[in-house]
Amino acid sequence: MREYLLYIKVSGGAAQAHITPCFQVDQAFWREREGAQLYVIGKSKSLALAFSLRGELNNALGDHAFTEKSVDSYRALASAHVREATVLYGKQAAGMTPIEKEWLSLESVGGSGEQADTLPLSPSSKDTLEDTDELKRESERLLAWMSGRALLWDEVGVLLNKKGWAPRSLEYCFQWMILSGKAERRPGIEWRIRRSWLRHRMLFTCARCGSEQTIVLTRCHSCRQGCAYCTECLDMGRSKCCTPYFCVPRQKASQAYEAVSPGKLCERTVNRGFTGERMAGTSYERRAALLDWQGTYSPMQKMAAEKARQFVASDRPGLGEFLLWAVCGAGKTELLFPSVAETLRAGGQVLIATPRKDVVLELAPRIAKVFPNARVIAVHGSSTEKWEDSDITIATTHQVMRFYHRFPLVVLDEVDAFPYHNNPVLYRVVSRAVQPGGKILYLSATPPRYLQKRLVPKRAQSHMHSRTHVLLPGRYHGSPLPVPLVCTVRGLHKHLSAGRSVQALLETLAASLDGGRQVFVFVPRVDQVPVVLGYLQRRLPGYSQAMAGVHAADPEREEKVRLFRAKQLLVMVTTTILERGVTIPRSDVIVVGTEAPVFDEASLVQIAGRVGRSSDAPSGTVLFIEEYRTSASRAAIRQINRMNQLAASLQQAGGQS
């Protein structure tokens, strides 16, 4: 059981409160910087309590000058604060009984007002610390591993285990780092007291995921105090009031990044253009930034990639977010290469965060191939390279939680997809992984409304780009997006379950199949998969062997998708799980039941974007069958038409110039 000692350090008229689990380290540290006097306030088993007291004391110390006599008044202040917190915690934890006498307690330590050298120490520290050189070396080493990460105590253990290194005392090393200002120790759950005229409350915040509504109070047997844990980020390990959470900003890279003047780099690379040439050779370019990509950009892609790169290279303050809005099948991954290379050249690391594990696994080898000299790692829940150091990190969203002020560039793929959309936690987590002054690049085909409002300026809506966004309305092969056809069938679902003919569906499906194309049939709910599948199999007996249905919880899901890719299956009845990421060259799409609320505008645009993605078959059929007219399908068609118009006008302009 850890105990945290709270003390006030006074040196040269300035006083500050500190927390420590190992007082002898602090004593040794301040002894080196002679003249500091330490006054102990008390000790507590709850880190959250110590943390909130430290804040309270620092506030008080800021208001009044510190004198020797006022130590007692600060002790009184602290114990008053503890009393108030105890009462409030008891109210909020109604129905639970504390393990010890009180929910929260601050114990006093030995004598009062003595100086550091004669002070009786906390029980674990009988010996004073003599040899600080060893400790310094070890903490340097720990710093190297921890740099750019934010980890709970248990996760630190896992990390060091992985690295096969155990310092003599991890706690000492961390304390040394914290005192030198290179790291921060926080409680997993922080609390503060909000006072109002109606009632005072204790507000809990998870230091890791930042959520406030999902904190559950608990009797904790680890600290035996009033404690709380966060249920939002529970899958990543329990964040509690008494678990220390270490945030270590990245050290070296940030200095290196600033050392290279971005202005110069920017000029030079603009002149060279980005049509896939090799970018190595010059002496001060970093090796990792070598881009080995033989493809070419269309003029539109070139413009968008250049805009994104300029954003990454610019050192304008306050310009932190950029939206790369590219329609489905525009080749978004390729557009990233210049921006990534730019950051690598400046000595930074890049994070590419995507919502799903299969995308991570697909993306990692592609990126690794294009950047042959960069270390690329794929980070997801069951990844073995989770703790490696790398130039390019490709991670699922939840793993981003473990990074702290690490990356000068973070790319967020598919911001409108499931885990990000309307989830403030993941946005917070991503913005924390960025270095101060770093950049976030959002990638999306259908950016959510709030992102559009923030990053697409009103007056620039008719333009393709502004300082904060670039729009890429056409596909890489230049053909327009297939425009969906809408067909309203009254009593559609009754027809399907009764086996009566739905002409539009059957004719379109038969025409596609006879033309040798594969077909996605999207349905809104899992329980409709077997209904529609059975209906189609009965109606088109010739193809009944080549049809399958799939949904998220299907154990054979991966196998079926593989067969579909291999053209063993021709018709795939699916829920919205296949709306992203799956690319089948010659395919058509039919949506059955477009009126269901799961099919919103963004989802329908994504679904329509499955069709005609390859350059040898750039057209195809998209059919929306709905029971009654809906605004979502109209809006989706409007958006697709608008993109096509923009692309056409852009192409015309390109042809003229």
Q: Residues interacting with another protein, by CB under 8 A?
A: 1, 216, 218-222, 227, 229, 231, 234-235, 238, 240, 242, 553
Decide whether 234 or 270 has the Cβ nearer to another protein: 234
Residue 77 three-state SS: helix
* Contact of 351 with 433, CB cutoff 8 Å: yes
Decide whether 77 or 99 has the Cβ nearer to another protein: 99
619 phi and psi, to 5 degrees?
-120, 175
CB of 145 to another protein, least distance (A): 23
* Contact of 71 with 113, CB cutoff 8 Å: yes
Of 270, 272, 358, the C-alpha closest to 558 is 358
CB of 222 to another protein, least distance (A): 4
Decide whether 96 or 260 has the Cβ nearer to another protein: 96
Decide whether 218 or 466 has the Cβ nearer to another protein: 218
CB of 61 to another protein, least distance (A): 33
Decide whether 153 or 520 has the Cβ nearer to another protein: 153
CB of 46 to another protein, least distance (A): 12
* Contact of 4 with 47, CB cutoff 8 Å: yes
User: What's the CA gap between 110 and 519, in Å, rounded?
Assistant: 78
Residue matched to tokens 């922080």: 190
Of 652, 601, 646, the C-alpha closest to 330 is 646
Enumerate the H helices of 201-294 as residue ranges: 252-259, 262-272
* Contact of 495 with 626, CB cutoff 8 Å: no
Sign of the alpha-carbon dihedral angle for 261, 263, 266, 268: negative
* Contact of 556 with 546, CB cutoff 8 Å: no
Structure tokens at 28: 């040794």
Residue 436 three-state SS: strand
Task: Tell me the three-class secondary structure of 609-646, residue by residue.
Answer: CCCCCCCCCCCCCEEEEECCCCHHHHHHHHHHHHHHHH
User: What's the CA gap between 12 and 164, in Å, rounded?
Assistant: 43
CB of 239 to another protein, least distance (A): 10
CB of 1 to another protein, least distance (A): 6
Decide whether 329 or 549 has the Cβ nearer to another protein: 549
> CA 327 from chain center: how many Å?
23
Decide whether 12 or 555 has the Cβ nearer to another protein: 555
Residue matched to tokens 């995921």: 209
* Residue 636 CB partners (closer than 8 Å, separation 6+): 484, 601, 604, 605, 608
CB of 144 to another protein, least distance (A): 28
Decide whether 238 or 345 has the Cβ nearer to another protein: 238
Decide whether 17 or 227 has the Cβ nearer to another protein: 227
Residue 352 three-state SS: strand
Enumerate the H helices of 526-568 as residue ranges: 528-539, 557-565
CB of 241 to another protein, least distance (A): 10
CB of 417 to another protein, least distance (A): 17
Of 538, 536, 571, 572, the C-alpha closest to 554 is 572
CB of 387 to another protein, least distance (A): 20
Of 528, 461, 478, 491, the C-alpha closest to 647 is 478
Of 564, 569, 589, the C-alpha closest to 505 is 589
CB of 226 to another protein, least distance (A): 13
Decide whether 236 or 361 has the Cβ nearer to another protein: 236
User: What's the CA gap between 574 and 341, in Å, rounded?
Assistant: 38
Decide whether 1 or 498 has the Cβ nearer to another protein: 1
Decide whether 126 or 221 has the Cβ nearer to another protein: 221
Q: Quote the strand ranges of 101-242, DSSP E.
A: 149-152, 184-187, 189-194, 201-206, 215-219, 226-230
CB of 233 to another protein, least distance (A): 11
CB of 218 to another protein, least distance (A): 6
User: Residues 416-428, buried b or exposed e (16+ Cβ, 10 A)?
Assistant: bbebbeeeebbbe
CB of 457 to another protein, least distance (A): 39
* Contact of 499 with 346, CB cutoff 8 Å: no
* Residue 295 CB partners (closer than 8 Å, separation 6+): 276, 334
Residue 23 three-state SS: helix
Decide whether 498 or 553 has the Cβ nearer to another protein: 553
Largest CA distance in the chain: 95
Structure tokens at 215: 């904190």
Decide whether 161 or 275 has the Cβ nearer to another protein: 161
